Structure 1
Amino acid sequence: MSKRRINKVAVIGSGIMGSGIACHFANIGVDVLLLDIVPRELNEIEKAKGMTLEDKAVRNRIVNSSLQSALKSKPSPIYHQNFANRITTGNLDDDLSKIKDVDWVIEVVVERLDIKKQVFENIEKFRTPGTLITSNTSGIPIHFMSEGRSEDFQKHFCGTHFFNPARYLKLFEIIPGPKTSQDVLDFLNNYGEQFLGKTSVVAKDTPAFIGNRIGIFGIQSLFHQVKELGLTIEEVDKLTGPVIGRPKSATFRTVDVVGLDTLVHVANGIYDNCPNDEAHELFKLPDFINTMMENKWLGSKTGQGFYKKVKDDKGNSDILSLDLDTLEYRSKKRAQFATLEMTKTVDKVIERFPILVSGKDKAGEFYRKNFAAMFAYVSNRIPEISDDLYKIDDAMKAGFGWEHGPFQIWDAVGVEKGLELIKAEGHQVADWVNEMLASGSKSFYSVKDGATYFYDIPSKTQSKIPGQDAFIILDNIRKSNEVFKNSGVVIEDLGDGILNCEFQSKMNTIGGDVLAGLNKAVDLAEKDFEGLVIGNQAANFSVGANIGMIFMMAAEQEYDELNMAIKYFQDTMMRMRYSSIPTVSAPHGMALGGGCELSMHADKVVAAAETYIGLVEFGVGVIPGGGGSKEMALRAQDTFRKGDVELNVLQEYFLTIGMAKVSTSAYEAFDLGILQKGKDVIVVNKDRQIATAKAHARLMADAGYTKPVKRNDVKVLGKQALGMFLVGTDSMEVANYISEHDHKIANKLAYVMAGGDLSEPTLVSEQYLLDLEREAFLSLCTERKTLERIQHMLKTGKPLRN
């Protein structure tokens, strides 16, 4: 079989979903042809300009305005604005013939079967045989769509359901049609994982497939429980948010974002097309939802849904919530439950579930009802929507942002305890669950030799989940491969001579224990191994230095100890850079402050595409003190080219710190000088990141890694640069762009990056710059306004401008 490559795709339909899919293909380097219909009439602007319906700008108006509004939306659908150049727009009348040159056609038009069938008929006139053709439907059965199409079309046709927003939600459901070839399914499954960075799940052609069938069941079941238990929407959002590993937007806020109409459309589809579902009546919409639909309270897009943003007389924003009894908006009420207080000290979400279901208050009752209904429902969906239980968990994690799928939660509660809850609530569980317990399997999942196994129903045995060989799952190897552990880190042997240092602190902040662990990791790697990866699989790589510790020392005026602590941080960064083994940092999610500095001192960075990295110390009233200020000065000098205005180059690096710039993707970090072209790499699928980082460390070791030579040749510009910076910061304060304290911090940074007030450009050592940086950091810690900023950040998580 010849190897299939995807160089160019056509996306038909440029609505929110179509534009989002087009942007994500552009993200991974694929050329995209984005097409939509021709407008039927001129708009007012076009009439005023005397344009006609034959003008190209008019004919492509719909597609161009859809793409532009997608590119302006936040969060952005694209990794880097330049990547939008990979998308060419056109319309279905003039440009459909161009699909003969693409490798994959993705249809994303309105959810109406007649329109989709018409589009497929037109596509077939120009499609080159062998080209993939898929539909991004979320509800229409796949087998209806390809009726009447040619043999070759049907063989290469299936559903590929992306979740919105396509860049951020990882679920990629693949739904075979009656004649889809196995080769096509295998190709798409692998392509989704490896290139699109998704969790690919092959689903059956059942209404709403896997993710939405279970997700909408969960939401509908909550809609009915809210009334039954007399809960407010704030209480439900509190109970169904981060405490159980779900997104902050929890339930009702999520519905507002997605749009109530979208949810109702899918729920109605399930109600109409699944008459034999044991929970059929649950998909019937409660009265309050019908009223909201009539009132057009659809959520964010109509300005009000379950929540409504209003401004008071003084122009301050406030958020009101809907009272489900009176259907009137009222001030938000704070939700509190004793059961949730019991989980405050339990950091790992998975360990909270047994506590939550044993709660004695309304929250405990809510969780027992909620999980009992969910456990019973998912057990009964096998084999209807999927043959394998892990696919249901994968779909919920990747499509709805749950940290754990229903079967993982059931395992955490205990399979037998789950059965008790189901019985107590009067639900029926599928027979296979009892058969599983009878067969000697006491859980849905198990771990063996670093791999995850699941209970395979037909064979009644624990089988290995396929496709794990490209991954390293730290949870699975932590206990068996542990080399060292303290309260801040676990050091694991990844095999093949490479160690991994995994942070275990709260939010992965970097304090004394983490630094001690990093030093230990370098020691161990230099002695008995050949390379070191610094990586973890938490939500964020690291939010930076432990500012609580800095605050305590500064408030107590323990400046000698603070000086030692900062020096320890700097020395650890330099130790990583100048060790005799290659060091690879693997940032993802937030990599801020110290997390960014650590990455800048590794030999190589293997970043996840979704990495938000930057030096944000200005927000807490200090400058980067772990080598970040030194590193930016050094990198500026390394980019000086003959004929450059060196001051201008230095100024860009200065502004990156001074404006606390954070990249919105790893690709943007190249523009900020935080990642380096030709050296650092980006991985789109975060699940493969540790394995890729390990491979790079191995590669560097095999290429004969030698310890770098310490730098004594950093060119600093002295007075010449300092003068320019000081004039700039003065004028910014005069124009009220920055506060007096910002001015003070900026001047301290200027002093470090200029290399002090030397009378002429001079070559200095890294240590010289580190000493300046540490001195500036310490002096800022003696300022009351800096302490106010740190305290405000610790209390609210937000920066203070004082």
Structure 2
Amino acid sequence: MKRHINKVAVIGSGIMGSGIACHFANIGVEVLLLDIVPRELNDKEKAKGLSLNDKVVRNRLVNEALTKALRSKPSPIYHKNFAKRISTGNLEDDIAKVKNVDWIIEVVVERLDIKKQVFENLEKHRTPGTLITSNTSGIPIKFMSEGRSDDFQKHFCGTHFFNPARYLKLFEIIPGPKTDQSVLDFLNGYGEQYLGKTSVVAKDTPAFIGNRIGTFGIFSLFHAMKELGMTIEEVDKLTGPLIGRPKSATFRTVDVVGLDTLVHVGNGLYENCKDDERRDVFKMPEFINTMMENKWLGSKTGQGFYKKSVNAEGKKEILSLDLDTLEYRSKKSAKFATLELTKSIDNVADRFSVLSDGKDKAGEFFRKSFGALFSYASLRIPEITDELFKIDDATCAGFGWEHGPFQIWDAVGLDKGIEFVEAEGLKVADWVMDMKAAGIESFYTVKDGASYYYDIPSKKMEKIPGQDSFIILDNIRKSNEVFKNAGVVVEDLGDGILNVEFQSKMNTIGADVITGLNKAIDIAEKDFQGLVVGNQAANFSVGANIGMIFMMAVEQEYDELNMAIKMFQDTVMRLRYSSIPTVAAPHGMSLGGGCEITMHADKVVAAAESYIGLVEFGVGVIPGGGGSKEMAMRASDSFRPGDVELNILQEYFLTIGMAKVSTSAYEAFDLGILQKGKDVIVVNKDRQIATAKAYAKLMAEQGYTQPPARRDVKVLGKQALGMFLVGTDSMEASNYISEHDKKIANKLAYVMAGGDLSEPSYVSEQYLLDIEREAFLSLCGERKTLERIEHMLKTGKPLRN
């Protein structure tokens, strides 16, 4: 049976239910969101004379929940218009509508009796063959389907999304006793291809895979830090980006998620994992019990491990909780000698061995925490899964880790990892020692561009399933390398398509990257059919190397700076006018120069989670790598007979002038950065490079022709320039912008108007590039611009001077 998901029903509109509903709307699915009917009127309803029979009252809970979700930040939805795909109702008046959906997802309160009652009601209206799943995070799947029909049980399982559903990639699928294999196979593929998730089929054990391992990791840290006498700042310093984990690290993450949520999962594991050899780890430390009593639950109650405060001078500050005194105090800096040794190591995996060799408290912390994690993860096989890679997939996708337990273990070395475990008085699973005895020294290996894992039953390396839809650059980088310098690696993707991958810090664009881009185009034009510009780092590119620009400007090396900017302009123009098709694959932050590279490719294959924008105003300049020219040209291309052309140009001007950044790739269409009918979006970032390659190959096979240089860009001259100058004058007079903001805006106005031409005219791209570069250079000579650049370099935040 071939399934299509055109409409889903989500039962329960709380934070999780609304988030799941929004994510299905994100991918184009029609959603029916249902919740219970209120038991009594609120004050507003009483004042209006409404009754419990009025529809607005009966749907109040679901509508309020969805409205709250749509207003939350970060947004659960890719584009505000996508919310129209969600219709709401209640479980009394609208439950019969579930007969028309393809998938019913239950997301009600975590109580078995209530869930069973909901399923009983749903079965009265569900069409046989319809998928029905629960988003439970802990209740055994086998209990929920008891007493239901055979058809219900065949099509029932757990589908556990992580919160927030849009951003966290883990999608756990937990079969019930009678779940049909075809249902599991379908959900596994659908989660990966359509929902953009990392699908993991788990066993029906407490907390499944992600929460079992991740929650152990958190509780283990609670105990380790008390033993070592560490502060929460020190733990957060050691468990954040340093080791490839979110900026919120451990304690800030708990504050965001809610301490009550963590305690609920921890208590559930303690109660339900009576045979777990580390069960006592899930006992609540005394400081957690006190925090729960005091309702110090985190962001939702205004204080948790951290608390926002205003000091005696009226300045805002964030206080930290002292776990010994349980009083809030000013944050303390966290410094460790070991961390200094990792400053020059950009690859996170290469840091693990250095960190765990540390001679200070940080080194001791890592040895202790890694030892506990390695032991626990190894001993959970085959209890929670039969395959070790699923543990890594689940912890990475569910908790935002860059590396899972077995990947970290590989990074420090098998023998050293065993030493860490034994030093804690713990043991590793027998299968690990069997693996070692067989002479296999790592859990993973790469062969012929594919990833393999140690398969415990067969005692040999097996290919990780599901890779055929992906191109994993880490796996092909060495074997397929065509060119390399300090800024880029150029790889052969096969089928005549090259990829140029940035390798600089944060993928900033400096001389090496520009040289590498040009070299990639040279090679592709000579021996290949197409070129992809893409990488699989956290961000596509945060823009130009402003440190280099700052040094040149401070030294007043304007000729060199002019040459550098022209070289970047010429490079992006080569992307557009080369003899081979070029495809950009932006994801994450794609800012400034990263955005300019994106806008000049023949086609863009953007990840849905792309935050794209021309942000140069924040450092006191205008886009100088073709961005200002490109926005003027795109405005010109959108002019139609009868349009008020000034209004259209103003929209493109404001995109730059307000440093607008899309909160998803879909919003980038609104900003004119992506182009409808030409650029495409993929929800699963793991598929992005493969999809970009496919488009480059298709364009080449369809007979790609090198486009002619543009000389037909309509600019409005003094007519537009005058409008912009009047606007900036009034904004300065109203104190909306500073004098320097006005100067930058006027420079941008000059470029986008095409200069002070006496009447609307047609000009070339090169003309616009020249005046763009001239404006950029003149702003680099301004003291206030240099102050802005310096402030950004020091603080990472824009300065308004």
Give TM-score scaled by structure 2 length. Answer: 1.00
Q: Aligned partners of 2:553, 2:753: CA distance in 1, in Å?
A: 26
Q: Aligned partners of 1:89, 1:41: CA distance in 2, in Å?
A: 19
Equivalent position of 1:680 in the other structure: 679
Equivalent position of 2:732 in the other structure: 733
| 2:121 aligned with 1:132 | no
Equivalent position of 2:320 in the other structure: 321
Q: Aligned partners of 2:521, 2:239: CA distance in 1, in Å?
A: 41
Equivalent position of 1:522 in the other structure: 521
Q: Aligned partners of 2:51, 2:680: CA distance in 1, in Å?
A: 48
Q: Aligned partners of 1:430, 1:772: CA distance in 2, in Å?
A: 67
Equivalent position of 1:618 in the other structure: 617
Equivalent position of 1:79 in the other structure: 78
Displacement of 1:641: 0.9
Query: Which amino acid in structure 1 is aligned with residue 13 of structure 2?
Result: S
User: Per-residue displacement from partner, 1:731-756 (whole Å, max 9, x unpaired)?
Assistant: 00001110100000000000000000
Equivalent position of 1:495 in the other structure: 494
User: Per-residue displacement from partner, 1:160-197 (whole Å, max 9, x unpaired)?
Assistant: 00000000000000000000000000000000000000
Displacement of 1:292: 0.6
Displacement of 1:313: 4.4
User: Per-residue displacement from partner, 1:28-53 (whole Å, max 9, x unpaired)?
Assistant: 00000000000001100001011111
Query: Which amino acid in structure 1 is aligned with residue 58 of structure 2?
Result: R
Q: Map 1:375-390 onto structure 2 (within 5 A).
A: 375-390=374-389
Equivalent position of 2:236 in the other structure: 237
| 2:145 aligned with 1:146 | yes
Q: Aligned partners of 1:315, 1:356: CA distance in 2, in Å?
A: 39
Q: Map 1:215-614 onto structure 2 (within 5 A).
A: 215-614=214-613
Equivalent position of 2:189 in the other structure: 190
Displacement of 1:314: 4.6
Q: Aligned partners of 2:595, 2:190: CA distance in 1, in Å?
A: 31
Query: Which amino acid in structure 2 is aligned with residue 135 of structure 1?
Result: S
For structure 1, the 5+ residue unaligned runs are none
Query: Which amino acid in structure 2 is aligned with residue 359 of structure 1?
Result: G
User: Per-residue displacement from partner, 1:518-577 (whole Å, max 9, x unpaired)?
Assistant: 000111000000000000000000000111110000000000111000000000011110
Q: Aligned partners of 1:763, 1:594: CA distance in 2, in Å?
A: 26
1:352 aligns to what SS in structure 2?
helix
1:494 aligns to what SS in structure 2?
strand
1:63 aligns to what SS in structure 2?
helix
Query: Which amino acid in structure 1 is aligned with residue 401 of structure 2?
Result: W
2:681 aligns to what SS in structure 1?
strand
1:470 aligns to what SS in structure 2?
coil
Q: Aligned partners of 2:474, 2:502: CA distance in 1, in Å?
A: 13
Q: Aligned partners of 2:599, 2:273: CA distance in 1, in Å?
A: 54
2:468 aligns to what SS in structure 1?
helix
Q: Aligned partners of 2:169, 2:315: CA distance in 1, in Å?
A: 36
Query: Which amino acid in structure 1 is aligned with residue 731 of structure 2?
Result: M
Equivalent position of 1:650 in the other structure: 649
Equivalent position of 1:37 in the other structure: 36
1:499 aligns to what SS in structure 2?
strand
Displacement of 1:350: 0.1
Q: Aligned partners of 1:510, 1:462: CA distance in 2, in Å?
A: 39
1:514 aligns to what SS in structure 2?
helix
Displacement of 1:478: 0.3
Query: Which amino acid in structure 2 is aligned with residue 755 of structure 1?
Result: G
User: Per-residue displacement from partner, 1:496-518 (whole Å, max 9, x unpaired)?
Assistant: 00000000001000111100100
Q: Aligned partners of 1:327, 1:764: CA distance in 2, in Å?
A: 68
2:378 aligns to what SS in structure 1?
helix
Q: Aligned partners of 2:303, 2:757: CA distance in 1, in Å?
A: 60
Q: Aligned partners of 2:130, 2:590: CA distance in 1, in Å?
A: 41
Equivalent position of 1:65 in the other structure: 64
Displacement of 1:153: 0.1
Q: Aligned partners of 1:202, 1:624: CA distance in 2, in Å?
A: 47
Equivalent position of 1:768 in the other structure: 767
Equivalent position of 1:795 in the other structure: 794
Q: Aligned partners of 1:418, 1:560: CA distance in 2, in Å?
A: 54
Query: Which amino acid in structure 2 is aligned with residue 564 of structure 1?
Result: M
Equivalent position of 1:699 in the other structure: 698
Q: Aligned partners of 1:542, 1:95: CA distance in 2, in Å?
A: 47
User: Per-residue displacement from partner, 1:286-320 (whole Å, max 9, x unpaired)?
Assistant: 11111111111111001111111112345421111
Displacement of 1:442: 1.1
User: Per-residue displacement from partner, 1:751-779 (whole Å, max 9, x unpaired)?
Assistant: 00000000010010000000000000000
Q: Aligned partners of 1:100, 1:600: CA distance in 2, in Å?
A: 45
Query: Which amino acid in structure 2 is aligned with residue 614 of structure 1?
Result: G
Query: Which amino acid in structure 1 is aligned with residue 449 of structure 2?
Result: G
Q: Aligned partners of 2:790, 2:37: CA distance in 1, in Å?
A: 57
Q: Aligned partners of 1:347, 1:551: CA distance in 2, in Å?
A: 23
Q: Aligned partners of 1:473, 1:346: CA distance in 2, in Å?
A: 22
Equivalent position of 2:97 in the other structure: 98
Displacement of 1:341: 1.1
User: Per-residue displacement from partner, 1:460-497 (whole Å, max 9, x unpaired)?
Assistant: 00000000000000000000000000110000000000
1:126 aligns to what SS in structure 2?
coil
Q: Aligned partners of 1:567, 1:740: CA distance in 2, in Å?
A: 28
2:606 aligns to what SS in structure 1?
strand
Q: Map 1:745-756 onto structure 2 (within 5 A).
A: 745-756=744-755
Query: Which amino acid in structure 1 is aligned with residue 265 of structure 2?
Result: V
User: Per-residue displacement from partner, 1:656-715 (whole Å, max 9, x unpaired)?
Assistant: 000000000000000000000000000000000000000000000011000011100101
User: Per-residue displacement from partner, 1:295-354 (whole Å, max 9, x unpaired)?
Assistant: 111110011111111123454211111110111101100000011111111110000011
Displacement of 1:449: 0.4
Query: Which amino acid in structure 1 is aligned with residue 4 of structure 2?
Result: R
1:469 aligns to what SS in structure 2?
coil
Equivalent position of 1:19 in the other structure: 18
- Deviates most, 5-14 or 340-349: 340-349
Give structure 1 regions of 4+ aligned residues with deviation exceeding 6 angstroms: none
Displacement of 1:440: 2.2
1:321 aligns to what SS in structure 2?
strand
Q: Aligned partners of 2:268, 2:710: CA distance in 1, in Å?
A: 66
Equivalent position of 1:112 in the other structure: 111
- State the Cα RMSD in Å: 0.5
How many residues are paired up? 801
Displacement of 1:439: 1.6
Q: Aligned partners of 1:490, 1:799: CA distance in 2, in Å?
A: 31
Equivalent position of 1:179 in the other structure: 178
2:226 aligns to what SS in structure 1?
helix
Give TM-score scaled by structure 1 length. Answer: 1.00
Q: What is the percentage of aligned positions where both structures have the same residue?
A: 82
Query: Which amino acid in structure 1 is aligned with residue 722 of structure 2?
Result: G
Query: Which amino acid in structure 2 is aligned with residue 322 of structure 1?
Result: L
User: Per-residue displacement from partner, 1:253-306 (whole Å, max 9, x unpaired)?
Assistant: 100000011001111111011111000111111111111111111110011111
Displacement of 1:205: 0.2
Q: Aligned partners of 1:460, 1:264: CA distance in 2, in Å?
A: 38
